[in-house]
């Protein structure tokens, strides 16, 4: 019922309600620090005009891209090895399962010790945060390949690289993509925290700096909103990947 011309109601209705409650709450409490929605909008416009918004978004995206691609480049091959070879799984899985529950935030002191203050520390933290979901997703994807496909491929005399490229990879791809989507989501969560400590650009820096330099809570909330919007767009991008023909079969079976 909420489609076509009415599609905007479930999308914008709750947002409008939240903004209204927010405005009334600030007005009633008379808080001198907490900004009204309008003040945040003005702050956002101000940041955009001065080019700061774009600069910080680009800085954050740059770090996420570096850390995330590095993680994917390592996690997907390692996950495939773990999924295919029982020995690789036996040796690597305890390590993965032991390191995975450690929040990337807990690594911040070590990151600063090893990589100093600069881009490398947040990139390392993003790498850590997105590596594990991708390893686990890829390994699970390969391990749960339906045996009947491998059997058919054996019957057609597919072996080695040909078997990998034509059967193992496409069969595991849906779960690899799901792991990549989760990994990117976590990377975007972690970049903000990492930027609060080690660098002087990015959305995380914008938030912490706005608070420290004169309690500019309008800019703090403006930064938070930007994080939300960019995160939403990144996830939409990954959901687009899940709709590809090569991936979709798994969800339609």
Partner 1 sequence: MRPKIEIRSVSKTFATRGGPVPVLDDLSFEVADGEFVAVIGPSGCGKSTLLGVLAGFERPDRGEVRVDGEPVREPGRKGMFIFQQPSLFPWLDLEQNLVFGLNGESAEARRALVAHYIALVGLDGFERAFPNQLSGGMQQRAELARALMVKPEILYLDEPFGALDALTRLRMRVELLRILSRERHTVLLVTHDVEEALHLADRVLVLSPRPARIQHVVEVTLPRPRALSDPLLIELKAGLLRELGVDERAGECS
Residue 243 within binding range of partner 1, rule CB under 8 A: no
DSSP annotation of 1 reads -
Residue 155 within binding range of partner 1, rule CB under 8 A: yes
Nearest approach, Cβ of 146 to partner 1 (angstroms)? 8
Residue 165 within binding range of partner 1, rule CB under 8 A: no
DSSP annotation of 120 reads H
**Spatial distance between the Cα atoms of 67 and 127, rounded to a whole number of angstroms:** 4
Number of residues that bind partner 1 (CB under 8 A): 20
Residue 160 within binding range of partner 1, rule CB under 8 A: no
Residue 149 within binding range of partner 1, rule CB under 8 A: yes
Nearest approach, Cβ of 168 to partner 1 (angstroms)? 12
Side-chain half-sphere CA neighbours of 154 within 13 A: 5
How close are the terminal C-alpha atoms of the chain, in Å?
Answer: 26
Tokens coding 155: 């019957």
Nearest approach, Cβ of 183 to partner 1 (angstroms)? 22
Q: Is-contact 216 43, C-beta < 8 A? A: yes
Residue 17 within binding range of partner 1, rule CB under 8 A: no
The radius of gyration of the chain from alpha carbons, rounded to an integer in Å, stands at 22
Chain contacts with partner 1 (rule: CB under 8 A): 146, 148-149, 151-152, 154-157, 166-167, 170-171, 173, 245-246, 249-250, 252-253
């Amino acid at each position: 019922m909420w489609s076509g011309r009415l599609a905007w109601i479930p999308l914008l209705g709750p947002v409008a309600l939240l903004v209204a409650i927010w405005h009334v709450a600030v007005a009633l409490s008379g808080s001198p620090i907490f900004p009204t929605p309008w003040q945040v909008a003005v702050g956002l416009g101000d940041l955009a005009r001065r080019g700061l918004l774009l600069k910080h978004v680009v800085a954050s995206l740059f770090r996420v891209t570096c850390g995330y691609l590095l993680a994917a480049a390592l996690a997907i091959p390692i996950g495939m090895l773990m999924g295919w070879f029982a020995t690789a799984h036996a040796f690597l899985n305890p390590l993965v399962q032991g390191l995975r529950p450690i929040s990337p935030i807990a690594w911040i002191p070590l990151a600063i010790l090893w990589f100093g203050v600069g881009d490398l520390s947040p990139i390392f933290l993003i790498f850590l945060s997105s590596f594990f979901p991708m390893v686990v997703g890829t390994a699970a994807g390969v391990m749960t390949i339906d045996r009947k496909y491998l059997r058919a491929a054996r019957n057609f005399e597919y072996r080695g690289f040909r078997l990998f490229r034509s059967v193992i990879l496409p069969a595991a791809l849906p779960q690899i993509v799901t792991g990549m989507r989760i990994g990117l989501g976590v990377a975007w969560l972690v970049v903000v925290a990492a930027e609060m400590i080690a660098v002087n650009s990015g959305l995380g820096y914008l938030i912490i700096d706005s608070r420290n330099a004169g309690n500019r809570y309008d800019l703090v909330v403006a930064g938070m909103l930007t994080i939300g919007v960019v995160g939403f767009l990144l996830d939409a991008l990954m959901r687009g990947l899940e709709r590809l023909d090569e991936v979709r079969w798994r969800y339609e079976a």
